[in-house]
């Protein structure tokens, strides 16, 4: 059985589905997905193996990520501090 180690080993449709699921699950930040020669992460390998075994539902793939690695920490855009807005308005914090 051949092992998948780089992004050049997968098809564009597999890559698109994998990136979409990783991003939606909160795992898709920080790494350059366009670099096709880089090593795949464990989460990416898990998704590719599931996709190649016939699983194409993004919810099932996201549940497999959560089951294997837990929930990704998501940062809310609403949790930004209000200090900058208050400084701009001239209000002392």
DSSP, residue by residue, 3-43: PP-BGGGS-HHHHHHHHHHHHHHT--SSS-TT-TTSBPPHH
- Total-model pTM: 0.64
Name which residue leads in pLDDT, 86 or 29.
86
* CA-based nearest residue to 75, from 29, 31, 33: 29
Domain count, the chain: 1
Name which residue leads in pLDDT, 91 or 44.
44
pLDDT of 60 strictly over 90: yes
pLDDT at 1: 43
Q: Is residue 1 part of a domain?
A: no
Name which residue leads in pLDDT, 93 or 48.
48
Distance of alpha carbon 93 from the chain centroid? 36
Name which residue leads in pLDDT, 30 or 4.
4
Name which residue leads in pLDDT, 77 or 11.
11
Counting residues of the chain whose pLDDT is more than 70, the rounded percentage is 61
Q: Is residue 79 part of a domain?
A: yes
Q: Is residue 12 part of a domain?
A: yes
pLDDT of 85 strictly over 50: yes
Q: Is residue 2 part of a domain?
A: no
Domain carrying residue 85: 7-89
Element (H, E) at 9: none
Q: Is residue 36 part of a domain?
A: yes
């Amino acid at each position: 059985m051949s092992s998948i180690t780089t992004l050049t080993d997968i098809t564009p449709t597999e890559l698109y589905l994998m990136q979409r699921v990783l991003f939606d699950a909160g795992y898709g930040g920080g790494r350059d997905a366009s670099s096709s020669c880089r090593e795949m992460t464990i989460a990416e390998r898990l998704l590719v193996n599931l996709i190649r075994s016939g699983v194409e539902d993004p919810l099932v793939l996201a549940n497999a990520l959560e089951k294997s690695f837990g929930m990704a920490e998501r940062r809310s855009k609403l949790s930004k501090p209000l200090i900058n807005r208050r400084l701009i308005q001239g209000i002392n914090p």
